[in-house]
């Protein structure tokens, strides 16, 4: 079990060197906000993933090598742009075409030597409302259902049964490809984990639905992208969630963050505050034999911080590494 860093799109040499300077060797990129029409992405010499519907093995290999050149391991690519598979999630006319492109991307991840692919089932993406301030005036994201307008985000209202049918079709198509490619697909919760947003059900909002997801199409190449912050938002017992899925070897990698409050109203926190006990969570991960990557995920925006949150991430890395060393020594 080790701390990793990611949650960025463009792996500039400066950012990768900073990660190495923090004593971190494991990393991830998150393509959630990827848009090749945005000059911020398209004009970067450090950004090889420029496909409109899929990513090539050559570009994915170049991406991995950028990390290795700075002494880092690229353990996961998290998310493809929503437009790569929005028709799949909503059962649109181009679902079959998109599934074929997704198969190609999964195969190419394996060929490029990238072992994990994080994905979500959120056609409307992550939703947040007015930011809040916490300790010392640090700014964090927050959610308050009372601030969310009840307008349709897509062409119509969808049923939960439709979303489950579409999800099973997705797994049926992609998991055999992932198994052959040696890639583990890791499912992220809906954020916020409410029943629906904009007329679209949010399937992955509670323990029962995650258990169903893991049993729907059994595969050793299907796991959780265990976003502790989302599980905390749900009000679930995080320790019991880790025990259940960890004992079944269904934890891919972890987003390590927390919140204060639960749906319908919560705000994010520093990693040393929040709903759950950080030490208990890390100790439980150790007890179930988890040996993967703990990503700092979202962090509070601290005084003098960058858009990515260099200072907030440094605080989280130091805190988690200290906790891990204490757990390792106690286990000796």
Give the model confidence (pLDDT) of 141-152 as tens digits: 999 999 999 899
Q: What is the pLDDT of residue 41?
A: 58
> Residues 231, 257: contact at Cβ < 8 Å?
no
pLDDT at 40: 56
Which of these ranges, 28-37, 184-193, 255-264, 307-316, has the smallest mean pLDDT? 28-37
The DSSP H or E segment spanning 108 is: helix 95-111
What are the tokens at 306? 């960058």
The residue written with tokens 């998991």 in the block is: 175
**pLDDT tens digit sequence for 177-211:** 999 999 999 999 999 999 999 999 999 999 999 99
Average pLDDT value for residue range 74-83 = 96
Write down the pLDDT at residue 38. 63
Could you tell me the pLDDT band of residue 92, with boundaries at 50, 70 and 90?
very high
Q: Which tens digit of pLDDT belongs to each residue from 202-235?
A: 999 999 999 999 999 999 999 999 999 999 999 9
Does the structure show a pLDDT above 60 at 42?
no
Least confident of 22-31, 35-44, 126-135: 35-44
- In the sheet that 142-144 helps form, which strands lie side by side, from edge to edge? 142-144, 265-268, 259-262
The answer to whether residue 316 scores a pLDDT higher than 90 is yes
**Tokens 């759950």 identify what position?**
276
pLDDT tier at 37, thresholds 50, 70, 90: low
25 pLDDT above the threshold of 80: yes
Other CB atoms within a 10 A radius of the CB of residue 330 amount to 9
What per-residue confidence (pLDDT) applies to 52?
87
Distance CA 93, CA 103 (A): 18
Q: Give mean pLDDT, residues 68-87.
A: 96
The pLDDT, as a whole number, for residue 34 is 74
3-state secondary structure of 234: helix
pLDDT band at residue 33 under the 50/70/90 scheme? confident
The runs of H, that is alpha helices, within 85-152 are 86-90, 95-111
CB 322 within 8 A of CB 155: no
Q: What is the mean pLDDT of the chain?
A: 95
Per-residue pLDDT at 81 exceeds 70: yes
Phi, psi of 97 (to 5 degrees): -65, -45
Measured over all CA atoms, what is the biggest interatomic distance in the chain, rounded to whole angstroms? 57
For residue 39, pLDDT beyond 60: no
pLDDT tens digits for 282-299? Answer: 999 999 999 999 999 999
């Amino acid at each position: 079990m080790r701390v990793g860093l990611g949650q960025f799109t463009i792996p500039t040499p400066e950012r990768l060197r900073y990660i190495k300077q923090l004593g971190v060797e494991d990393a991830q990129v998150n393509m959630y906000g990827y848009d090749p029409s945005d000059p911020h992405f398209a004009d970067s010499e450090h950004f090889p993933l420029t496909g409109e519907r899929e990513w090539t093995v050559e570009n994915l290999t170049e991406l991995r090598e950028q990390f290795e050149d700075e002494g880092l391991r690229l353990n996961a690519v998290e998310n493809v742009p929503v437009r790569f598979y929005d028709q799949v999630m909503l059962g649109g006319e181009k679902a079959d075409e998109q599934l074929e492109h997704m198969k190609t991307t999964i195969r190419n991840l394996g060929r490029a030597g990238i072992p994990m692919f994080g994905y979500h089932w959120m056609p409307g993406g992550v939703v947040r409302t007015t930011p809040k301030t916490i300790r010392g005036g640090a700014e964090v994201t927050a959610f308050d259902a009372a601030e969310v307008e009840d307008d349709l985000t897509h062409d119509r209202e969808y049923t939960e049964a439709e979303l489950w049918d579409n999800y099973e079709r997705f797994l049926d198509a992609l998991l055999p490809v992932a198994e052959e490619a040696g890639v583990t697909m890791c499912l992220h919760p809906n954020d916020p984990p409410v029943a629906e947003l904009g007329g679209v059900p949010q399937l992955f909002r509670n323990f029962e639905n995650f258990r169903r997801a893991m049993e729907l199409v059994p595969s050793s190449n299907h796991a959780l992208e265990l976003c502790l912050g989302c599980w905390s938002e749900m009000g679930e017992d995080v320790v019991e969630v880790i025990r259940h899925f960890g004992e079944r070897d269904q934890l891919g990698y972890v987003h390590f963050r927390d919140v204060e409050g639960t749906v319908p109203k919560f705000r994010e926190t520093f990693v040393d505050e929040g709903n759950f006990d950080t030490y208990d969570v890390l100790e439980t991960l150790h007890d179930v034999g988890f040996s993967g990557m703990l990503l700092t995920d979202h962090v509070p925006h601290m005084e003098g911080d960058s858009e990515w949150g260099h200072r907030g991430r440094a605080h989280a890395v130091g805190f988690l590494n200290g906790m891990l060393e204490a757990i390792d020594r106690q286990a000796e």
